[in-house]
């Protein structure tokens, strides 16, 4: 994984935690309405795996995910990165939305790289 400063690492971890909280709230609202939550649940699981891998890469802790789970999570995170990148291009620089998406994109890149390092 690329070298990331401690402040950048903390920002990335917080960006992933924020995305997880947002996904959890979305999933709860969707379940209350009786709407299918398969996609949100898949993204939520991938974000949690990405966060765990990124956290463990900083302190060399062991994680308890199978290679299959990591591969699936990596693919889901890559898809999410693509989706956010598309929306990111439509935001104005300097806005809160632009900053949030920029941080999420960087965090997703770090998580994907950390998963790749584990799988190698």
- Collapsed DSSP state (helix, strand, coil) of residue 35: coil
* Mean pLDDT score of the chain: 92
Residue 12 inside a domain? The answer is: yes
**Contacts for 115 with CB less than 8 Å, ≥ 6 apart:** 49, 50, 53, 70, 73, 74, 77
Residue 97 inside a domain? The answer is: yes
Tell whether the model's pLDDT for residue 6 goes beyond 90: no
Q: Place 57 in a pLDDT band, splitting at 50, 70 and 90.
A: confident
d(CA 104, CA 83): 11
Question: Is the full-model pTM beyond 0.85?
Answer: yes
d(CA 89, CA 45): 26
Residue 91 inside a domain? The answer is: yes
Structural domain for 79, as ranges: 6-119
Count the domains in the chain: 1
Tell whether the model's pLDDT for residue 63 goes beyond 90: no
Residue 34 inside a domain? The answer is: yes
Residue 1 inside a domain? The answer is: no
Residue 60 inside a domain? The answer is: yes
d(CA 14, CA 57): 15
């Amino acid at each position: 994984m690329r070298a990331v400063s401690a402040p950048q690492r903390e920002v990335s971890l917080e960006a992933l935690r924020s995305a997880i909280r947002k996904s959890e709230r979305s999933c709860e609202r969707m379940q209350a309405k009786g709407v299918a939550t398969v996609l949100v649940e898949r993204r939520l699981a991938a974000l949690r795996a990405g966060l765990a891998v990124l956290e463990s890469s900083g302190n060399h802790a062991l994680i308890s995910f199978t290679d299959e789970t990591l591969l699936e999570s990596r693919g889901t995170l890559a898809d999410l990165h693509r989706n956010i990148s598309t929306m990111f291009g439509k935001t104005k620089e300097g806005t809160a939305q632009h900053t949030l998406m920029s941080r999420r994109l960087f965090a997703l890149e770090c998580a994907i790289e950390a998963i790749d390092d584990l799988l190698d």
